[in-house]
């Protein structure tokens, strides 16, 4: 089996492009520094399920209803 060859610089697609205006090199450097400092989101593998406990959508959505057993149901994922 052969090892994959690394892509050369000329074969890579641009990640960012300037659509309007003419930013200075300093402005581009600041933009890249801000984008590079942002945390990356972890994505689940295709076959991996995401726990409903860690789902951010769990905090929104269905309202809580009072009644018998409501305290018990309030802690369960929907």
- Contact assessment for residue 77 and residue 53, using Cβ atoms and an 8 Å cutoff: yes
Give the residue from 48, 21, 16, 57 showing the smallest Cα distance to 33. Answer: 16
What does the pLDDT read at residue 13? Answer: 79
What is the model's pTM? 0.37
Q: Categorize the per-residue pLDDT at 68 as very low, low, confident or very high, splitting at 50, 70 and 90.
A: confident
| Highest mean pLDDT out of 2-6, 13-17, 55-59 | 13-17
Per-residue pLDDT reduced to its tens digit, 18-50: 889 999 999 999 998 988 888 776 665 677 776
CB 62 within 8 A of CB 78: yes
């Amino acid at each position: 089996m052969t090892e994959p060859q690394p892509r050369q610089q000329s074969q890579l697609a641009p990640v960012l492009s300037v659509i309007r205006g003419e930013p200075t090199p300093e402005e581009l450097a600041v933009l890249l520094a801000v984008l590079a400092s942002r945390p990356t989101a972890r994505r689940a593998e295709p076959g991996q399920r995401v726990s409903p406990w860690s789902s951010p959508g769990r905090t929104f959505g269905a309202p809580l209803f009072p009644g018998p057993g409501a305290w018990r149901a309030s802690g369960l994922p929907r």
